[in-house]
Amino acid sequence: MTQTSPPQVESRPTQKTVAEKSGFAVTTVSRALADDPLIARATREKIAKVAADLGYTPDRAAQRLRTGRTNVIALVLDPHGEILNFSGSMITGFADVIRDTRYHLTLTQYQMGEDPMAPIRHIVRNKLADGVVFARTEPQDVRVKYLIEAGFPFVTHGRTHLESHAWYDYDNAAFARLAVDRLVAKGRRHILIISPGHQYTFASHMKDGFRAAVAAHGIAGTIPEEFTIDSPSEIANARIKERLSGPDRPDAVICPGEIVAIATLAAINDLGLELGTDIDVIAKQTSSVFDLYRPRIDTVHENIEEAGRTMAQALLDEISGAAPETLQTLQQPKPGF
């Protein structure tokens, strides 16, 4: 055991090391560490102790090569738009759940205008993960079709109209109904709902809820043409101003997110309208920072971190063989304040 010239690359202990130190064969070590009941309890304990003492940890690459399992969950992020820290919160939720499992989190982000399918196909084809996650689903989402077809585990934020799969969704129809109810209670009679990205499933649910509630109350409801979810704030602001001008302007606005709310409040301010008198705004809120926005407005909370945690658990369950039908969560809105 001469510690000579080549600066002793400190190599991690392997099962071979554990085998030598413990006197068992490598195979036995492998099975013992997997807690295989075929190995005598006493042996398992001895080997576990030696492994712990040596600080042994399995080599992920070798496991992956041998078993075909990657122990990786792939997060596919939307292009960086302006949804206030949606991705960040979701990541935190995922990280919370993943932290104490054998899984790692990898991350891809497709670019604006790029095919959302590309990163997913890449992951499946090259088996880069055991499961994949993404958001912003559309009713006939091609990614969902592809993954079902491929039999690849996944979970989405947002439902589709497709065959059963694992998803988490916020009940945007309920959100819209709740929002309309509250505005009507304040005496509002002409409500504008801003719905960015008409192609997304969540938008259609929200609009359905909105239309139903507006009809039930017998008041006026306006759904403008689409506001692109990723359009720069200034453009959104300008278009909202247009909508809030004119003789038959709405006396209330429903905003499906904080950015839209901020743009709306800016428009109201810029037009010289008085909040609470001329007009009311209600928004979906996902970040506590918004509590500091002045003037304060009525909000309905959506907890993105919790969404992330639920989705992570669902995906792990699906990878373990749970039926996708059992892995669907429709989150009810919780009133703010």
Partner DNA sequence: TTACGTATTTATAACGTTACAAATGTCGGT
Partner DNA sequence: ACCGACATTTGTAACGTTATAAATACGTAA
**Closest approach of Cβ 118 to a copy of itself, in Å?**
11
Other C-beta atoms within 10 Å of 17: how many? 17
Residues 273-281: contacts with CB under 8 Å, at least 24 apart? 273/244, 278/251, 279/244, 279/249, 279/250, 279/251, 279/252, 279/253, 280/183, 280/186, 280/188, 280/251, 280/252, 280/253, 281/252, 281/253, 281/254, 281/255
Contact (Cβ atoms closer than 8 angstroms) between residue 219 and residue 193:
no
Decide: is 31 part of the binding site for DNA (CB under 7 A).
yes
Give just the sign of the alpha carbon dihedral 256, 262, 266, 269: positive
Decide: is 59 part of the binding site for a copy of itself (CB under 8 A).
yes
Decide: is 52 part of the binding site for DNA (CB under 7 A).
no
Decide: is 43 part of the binding site for DNA (CB under 7 A).
yes
Contact letters for a copy of itself, residues 264-293 (x by CB under 8 A): -xx--xx----------------xxx-xxx
Decide: is 63 part of the binding site for DNA (CB under 7 A).
yes
Decide: is 57 part of the binding site for a copy of itself (CB under 8 A).
yes
Decide: is 263 part of the binding site for a copy of itself (CB under 8 A).
yes
Reported residue count of the chain is 337
For a copy of itself, the closer CB: 43 or 108: 108
d(CA 283, CA 257): 6
Near a copy of itself by CB under 8 A: residue from 18, 82, 281, 314: 82
Cα dihedral 138, 142, 148, 151, rounded to 10, equals -130
Cα dihedral 162, 167, 169, 171, rounded to 10, equals 60
Cα dihedral 153, 321, 200, 196, rounded to 10, equals -90
> Within positions 86 to 125, which residues make up the interface with a copy of itself, using CB under 8 A?
87-89, 91-92, 95-96, 99, 104-109, 111, 125
Contact letters for a copy of itself, residues 180-209 (x by CB under 8 A): ------------------------------
Count of residues in contact with a copy of itself, rule CB under 8 A: 55
For a copy of itself, the closer CB: 74 or 206: 74
Cis preceding-peptide flag for 335 (omega within 30 of 0): no
For DNA, the closer CB: 38 or 185: 38
The site partner of 70 among a copy of itself, DNA, none (C-beta below 5 to 8 Å per kind) is: a copy of itself
Please state whether 127 falls in left (phi above 0), alpha (psi between -120 and 50) or beta: left
For DNA, the closer CB: 24 or 202: 24
Contact (Cβ atoms closer than 8 angstroms) between residue 182 and residue 298:
yes
d(CA 36, CA 56): 18
β-bridge pairing 334-335 and 298-301: antiparallel
For a copy of itself, the closer CB: 242 or 291: 291
Which residues form the interface with DNA (CB under 7 A)?
11-12, 14-16, 23-28, 30-31, 33-34, 38-40, 42-43, 56, 58-59, 62-63, 65-67
Which residues form the interface with a copy of itself (CB under 8 A)?
12, 55, 57, 59-62, 64-65, 70, 75, 77, 80, 82, 84-85, 87-89, 91-92, 95-96, 99, 104-109, 111, 125-128, 232-234, 237, 259, 262-263, 265-266, 269-270, 287-289, 291-295, 305
